[in-house]
Structure 1
Amino acid sequence: MPLVLGSDHGDQDSFELDTCRPLSEYLHPPRKTTPSCIVLLVNHHRFHLKPGTILLLPTFHGMDSKNPYTHMKEFEEVCGTCMEQTVNEDVVRLKLFPFSLKDKANMWLNTFAPRSIGTWREMQTTFLKKYFPANRTANLQRQMMNFSCKPNENFAQAWERFKDLLNACPHHAFEQWRVVSFFHDALSPNLKMIVSTMCNGEFFDKLPDEAFHFFDTLAENTRNWEVQLNESDDLNARLAALTRKIETLEIKKAQTVNEIEIRCAVCETSNHKTKDCPTLLAFKEVLYGQTGNTYSHNNEGMQYSNQNQGRNFHSGGHHTNFNSYHPNLLHHPNFSVRNDSTAQLPFPS
């Protein structure tokens, strides 16, 4: 064992332990806990964390789709329910804030030097600087300056969209009179007329804060008007739908009546009336024997007399005139073979 000059016995023991460590201990060093970047006040141990408090906290994952201002506001609201008289509010917020950060946001918080953040204001500034950069602020400022109403958008909807922009960027740095001017200039002529009418033409005589609160009141009132108008429109729409249904039924009824009226009794189609049937003449020829037969009755029975050919025969005989065959009657519906034994020939009109 080599001797180490200028060292005491303790240093010699430490050196011996280091030289006797195997490679596995160098490759797998023991875990070391990194101190938190948050410095809590002396009385932080007085805060008792309730079991369900962490579940109530909003979560922030570091995504661009989530507004950091919205997260901070929701977080402070939850912390307000956990306040105790013996504990400072900064202690509560600083102790709970790491539990609200997930994924990328939590990794970002662990990159800070230990004990580098000591107040809630420092934490807010650092958090917003990271997740609300200058380009995002400039984009929202441009949207406020270039705000415009959408087609068929009412006053309440336009004012709600504009206030969403203001809430998304509370540090827009615009004075109140400019904010009011941005929105008023974006209104359509009809909406500007409503604004002027509701304040008796004295809108520009109001102070900026008064004008801003006037927009809030007007939006609430117009929203109530639109509810009443929507109810009236709904009733009118139902009446119009009922009227259309009645008209449709009347049209169907008229079509059914017309179809019955123009239905042909010879060929049983609805394309024409019976008197206009193209097969009516041939139908009459077959019905009357095609030669103008006359019917005579006596006590012995029925006798048929053919005036053209002079042939007489009694009932029970059979007569066929082969020279009177008509080709148009080959596919006539009334002369087809059917199973309906009760079918009767309609009498021609």
Structure 2
Amino acid sequence: MAVVDNDWGIGSLHAHDKKEPTHAIAVTPGIRAIAIKSGVLVVLSNFYGLLKECPYAFLEEFCRYCNIQPVPAGSTSEDYMLKAIPFVLKGDAGIWLSRLPESSIRTWAEFRMIFLDRFFPTSKTSSLKREITEARQEYDEPLGQYWDRFQGLLQACPNHKIGEREVYSTFYSGLTVDSKNDLNLAAQGDFSKTPFSQTKRILERLIEAKRSYETSRGQYRRGAVHAVEARSDEKLEARFEQMERKLLEAVEKTRVPPPQEEHHYYYCEFPPEAEALNQVNTVGHWNPEGHWVQEKQRDTPWRDHPNFRWNYQSPRQPPQPSTQQKKTSEGQPNWPVRNQEIPNTGGNRG
């Protein structure tokens, strides 16, 4: 891409290096005759177009310094400001100026209008104006301090377009009840209905009289308020602890014991070895003399009872005595056979 030498947009980007105004500012004989010294550029404040910067404050300081600079014959202070303004606009503000159409600025009034329209739009003016109309005095804020803060809001928005009479009316509506009573007492009546010619004088006289003792009284009030707040916090904390303690007690009283699980035989655990041994030792029997013997009865007469033995006979194979039965029969005496069928003494009723 070829670079065109006579492109005004590219040439305006290097206007600061040549110490010449950008192409957006129309060059007049009065501007051409002015020479900006390097020492002046060092003293002048720069403007970058940031949100925290105030365009009105910048222009006010810039104009105040340029108005005291000497100018040659045939030139004016406005010519000097138009020649110097491109060197103090940096960052976004410098880029904005370089992108303006060629010779679109001919007077300082035109530059001021488009500059404020770009860096102080109507939306910002409306927001600051809303802060002015909604300003309120704090409960422990001295009257003089509130007046200074209110004036700062007015200065932050120079184009608020609020009349002087309306300014005092808005200020009075934002006062606390005590401050309104003081103003009414100083005005010997309703301050809002006082003639405007006396309003400013009454307010300044009251502020001057209250500045001497409002600082110490305000500190005393703030200390008292903080002490009351501390005591209130302690009472609230104690009350919360008491409520928590009562809540825990109520929960303990209403707590239902857990239901007992149903006992199942397959959940039974085997007792410890010592307990099992004690249970085994408790096994015994009554001897013929009527004494309890703590041992297992070996020769029991009911051992051969037909109801206490397995008497199933296989039809195919003859029953064979087991080894365990042989060992048991060897150690038993010859008891009479008791598995014979009992005769039916009832007779045949068929």
Cα 1:45–1:173 shift into 2, 3 Å = same
Ranked by relative contact order (alpha carbons within 8 Å, sequence separation 6 or more), the top structure is 2
- Which shifted more, 123-132 or 167-176? 167-176
1:159–1:215 Cα contact (<8 Å) kept: no
Q: TM-score, normalised by structure 1?
A: 0.53
- For 1:171-230, what per-residue CA distance to the aligned partner results, in whole angstroms no more than 9, with x for missing partners? 112232222111101111111122223333363454446524543454344334446x47
2:31–2:82 Cα contact (<8 Å) kept: no
2:162 partner SS: coil
Q: 2:211 aligns with which of 223, 241, 245?
A: 223
Q: 2:107 aligns with which of 119, 124, 134?
A: 119
**Counterparts of 2:124 and 2:50 in 1: how far apart (Å)?**
13
Matched, 1:96 2:84: yes
**Counterparts of 1:114 and 1:183 in 2: how far apart (Å)?**
46
Amino acid aligned to 1:93: M
Amino acid aligned to 1:81: I
Aligned length: 207
2:169–2:192 Cα contact (<8 Å) kept: no
1:38–1:114 Cα contact (<8 Å) kept: yes
Question: 1:103-252 counterparts in 2 under 5 A?
Answer: 103-201=91-189, 203-208=191-196, 210-212=198-200, 214-226=202-214, 229=216
Q: 2:34 aligns with which of 47, 54, 59?
A: 47
Q: 2:56 aligns with which of 69, 73, 85?
A: 69
1:40–1:94 Cα contact (<8 Å) kept: no
In structure 1, the partner of 2:274 is: none
Amino acid aligned to 1:112: L
**Counterparts of 2:197 and 2:144 in 1: how far apart (Å)?**
18
The CA RMSD measured in Å over matched residues stands at 2.8
1:148–1:186 Cα contact (<8 Å) kept: yes
Q: Residue 81 of structure 1: CA displacement?
A: 2.2
- For 1:244-265, what per-residue CA distance to the aligned partner results, in whole angstroms no more than 9, with x for missing partners? xxxxxxxxxxxxxxxxxxxxxx
In structure 2, the partner of 1:253 is: none
Q: Residue 130 of structure 1: CA displacement?
A: 0.5
- Runs of 4+ more than 4 Å apart: 26-32
1:36 partner SS: coil
Cα 1:208–1:85 shift into 2, 3 Å = farther
Question: 1:291-330 counterparts in 2 under 5 A?
Answer: none
2:48–2:90 Cα contact (<8 Å) kept: yes
**Counterparts of 1:212 and 1:85 in 2: how far apart (Å)?**
44
Amino acid aligned to 1:107: I
2:34–2:72 Cα contact (<8 Å) kept: no
**Counterparts of 1:220 and 1:52 in 2: how far apart (Å)?**
43
In structure 2, the partner of 1:23 is: none
Matched, 1:60 2:47: yes
The runs of 5 or more residues in structure 1 that have no matched partner are 1-25, 234-349
Q: Residue 28 of structure 1: CA displacement?
A: 6.5
Question: 1:16-27 counterparts in 2 under 5 A?
Answer: none
The structure with the largest alpha-carbon Rg is 2
1:125 partner SS: helix
Cα 1:27–1:123 shift into 2, 3 Å = closer
1:52 partner SS: helix
Q: Residue 46 of structure 1: CA displacement?
A: 3.9
**Counterparts of 2:43 and 2:195 in 1: how far apart (Å)?**
41
1:155–1:191 Cα contact (<8 Å) kept: yes
Q: Residue 71 of structure 1: CA displacement?
A: 1.1
Amino acid aligned to 2:57: T
